[in-house]
Copies of this chain bind each other. A is one copy, B any other.
């Protein structure tokens, strides 16, 4: 059977431009990885009549329809009912779904309403597409022999969890995945996507594996994707290309696949049995937040001081009031004293500090918005500060995010230098 998928995203908020359709991108990526072609994506509002018109078009040209959105408990969540209507099939309450919804509400102590009961309805003959992380399950339904429908909620992390838990295995068990696609992602910080692409330009024309560049939030990625019959076979195709890319770009590559700058820095700390403390000014705790996003980070992260005001810098971190007055809070001197101060105070092996001008106000001729100093105190008692000038045009949170990424990357590179 020639599979052709189609994505239908349901939600008036998409038609009003209130949210970016990241679900369509996610599904497109997943389908591409599984080797399932799809030729159309449609967005339609929370309107049963129009959704049914879109279903009619999709059912006439595709045999795998994937919907997102409209599975919630409110009156404008009508995807399940519209699909059942279109195929003239009655909705049936599933006792196990209703029990599950009641159980989840009981656990958190929130009040359950009659609206929630709607989420236990599925068309006769449909199977549940389990939702491991939310109250709205989806459906797996074959209303006609040559048509499979999968429905998902619009909340991205629920969509992701449901897709990963069920769909690849489902399609494999139906024999729809003749080949598998397996990818290796190489992750970069401190090099632009275009500079990275230029170094490996000659690999972008390969057909198996393919190599493609991506960028997001100041990080760049190269994805190597192989088509093969097993993962082991795919990895064999990927290995020589990965080695070649690393030879050309390795000094900027901080990790692969699910790594993050925080997880990689954390792995180094754990390997060396060393601890870290942070002193944050303009980032206000974001560095600590990213470090503690990693389960088990308490093995190496002790904590820190958010020294947003100068008084906290002086009294908690021992920064010199005279230096603050003369050099300013955003200076090499203060960054160094903050890093040394938090290391001493929390008795950690490493101390990292961030002080900068995130904007939009507070910049000057000599210290423009985007100027950030990152201090690093290492276990040998050495302290240094690195000056950064981030682009102010991308806004306050861009400067803050780049500051945190850079701090984690400096820590990581300190370990690479140690070897």
Contacts and interface: CB of A to CB of B under 8 A. Distances in A.
A264 interface: no
A393 B162 CA distance: 13
Interface residues of A, number: 111
A328 interface: no
Contacts of A302: 308-309, 311-312
Given A155-B216, A204-B75, A289-B285, A21 B16 contact: no
A335 to B, nearest CB: 16
B44 A15 contact: no
Interface in A1-57: 12-22, 24-32, 38-45, 47, 50, 53-54, 57
Interface centre among A76, A204, A306 (most CB of B within 10 A): A306
B39 A115 contact: no
Given A111-B195, A285-B289, A305-B306, 13 more contacts: A17-B27, A21-B25, A108-B391, A109-B389, A133-B393, A284-B291, A284-B293, A288-B308, A289-B289, A295-B396, A301-B308, A304-B305, A316-B345
Contacts of A288: 280, 284-286, 288, 306, 308
Identical subunits present: 2
Contacts of A74: 193-194, 197, 204, 213
A144 to B, nearest CB: 21
A363 interface: no
A120 to B, nearest CB: 13
A126 interface: no
Interface of A: 12-22, 24-32, 38-45, 47, 50, 53-54, 57, 61, 72-76, 104, 107-111, 113-116, 132-134, 155, 157, 192-195, 197-198, 201, 204, 212-216, 278, 280, 282-289, 291-293, 295-298, 301-309, 311-312, 316, 345-347, 359-361, 389-391, 393-397, 400
